[in-house]
Amino acid sequence: MNLTLHVWRQPGPRDAGRFVTYQARDVSSDMSFLEMLDVVNEGLILKGEEPIAFDHDCREGICGACGMVINGRPHGPRERTTACQLHMRSFRDGDVLWLEPWRARAFPVVKDLIVDRGAFDRIIAAGGFISAPIGSAPDANAIPIRKENADLAMDAAACIGCGACVAACPNASAMLFTAAKISHLGLLPQGQPERHERALRMVAQMDAEGFGSCTNHNECQAACPKGISVAFIARMNADFIRATVTSGRRVAVAGEGGSG
Ligand code: SF4
Ligand code: FES
């Protein structure tokens, strides 16, 4: 296959960016999308040009490092598929592809297709952990957990923190990511002692990072490569409201805005 790529090139966070056109020639349908970019980059390096910067690590859909907008869709055209798991058989000879980084104020561009997703790390650091003493590692099945809750917690834990939900949302909201992280811990017995404090802190940090509000477009769920359900947002909102009422306070974080 031969394809035309219009790629967002931006030398650094403070530089202006622009689309630059490249030809990807003799692309095998068996290549992954990132392998196709590797080949394009080899050609650029041989010509003495700067290779296209893009993020990746595991290349097997589990780390969340990869991600770019391909023809307007985060991670590209296939549902529940990360950019690294996308293969060129999903495209046709002669296709024209527009590659862009995630677009969100809270995810500043580092270079080309790479954005800084440190905002997600700070949301996790604000409360995405269990610090209550829970004793030594229990035997398997020693703590009874309802099957329904175990399944839901596992569904929420599937979030890989890629940021596609933010990129897909017209408001650049991080509600789906934050809801997945809050729900995953809040559904398990070990997560109960800090459940309300966790919701307060993580939502406050999410607001402080400059993400937008949720206005129920559901684009996040459609773009999520792990199929995280927007039902977790309702669960997060319930936890947050309950925490606000019972604690009588909100955790103060500089620059706090309003969450949807
Ligand atoms: S909720 Fe889905 S799209 Fe958002 S960060 Fe998690 S895995 Fe990525
Ligand atoms: S590189 Fe790890 S999920 Fe794509």
Q: Is 161 in the pocket of ligand 1 (CB under 6 A)?
A: yes
Neighbours of 126 (CB within 10 A): 22
Which pairing describes strands 18-24 and 96-100: parallel, antiparallel, or unpaired?
unpaired
Which pairing describes strands 3-9 and 96-100: parallel, antiparallel, or unpaired?
parallel
Residues 220-258: tens digit of each pLDDT:
999 999 999 999 999 999 999 999 998 876 554 433 444
176 CA closest ligand 1 atom index: 1
64 CA closest ligand 2 atom index: 3
56 CA closest ligand 2 atom index: 1
Q: pTM (2 decimals)?
A: 0.93
Dist. CA 134 → ligand 2 center (Å): 32
Dist. CA 50 → ligand 2 center (Å): 23
Q: Is 115 in the pocket of ligand 1 (CB under 6 A)?
A: no
Per-residue burial over 56-87, b if 16 or more Cβ lie within 10 Å, else e, is beebebebbbbbbbbeebbbbebeebbbbbbb
Tokens of 57: 């690590």
Alpha-carbon span 188 to 143, nearest angstrom: 10
The terminus-to-terminus CA distance of the chain in angstroms comes to 45
Angle between helices 231-247 and 175-186 (to 10 degrees): 70
Residues 87-140: tens digit of each pLDDT:
999 999 999 999 999 999 999 999 999 999 999 999 999 999 998 777 787 777
Cβ contact 182:176 at 8 Å: no
Residues 47-65: tens digit of each pLDDT:
999 999 999 999 999 999 9
Per-residue pLDDT at 132: 77
Alpha-carbon span 54 to 65, nearest angstrom: 9
Question: Measured over all CA atoms, what is the biggest interatomic distance in the chain, rounded to whole angstroms?
Answer: 63
Dist. CA 82 → ligand 1 center (Å): 10
Residues enclosing ligand 2, CB less than 6 A?
56-59, 61-66, 82, 84, 160
Cβ contact 177:259 at 8 Å: no
- Chain mean pLDDT for the chain: 94
Neighbours of 220 (CB within 10 A): 26
Tokens of 42: 């080899």
- Out of 78, 84, 102, mutate this one to test ligand 2's pocket (max ligand atoms within 8 Å of CB): namely 84
In whole angstroms, what separates CA 49 from the centre of its chain? 30
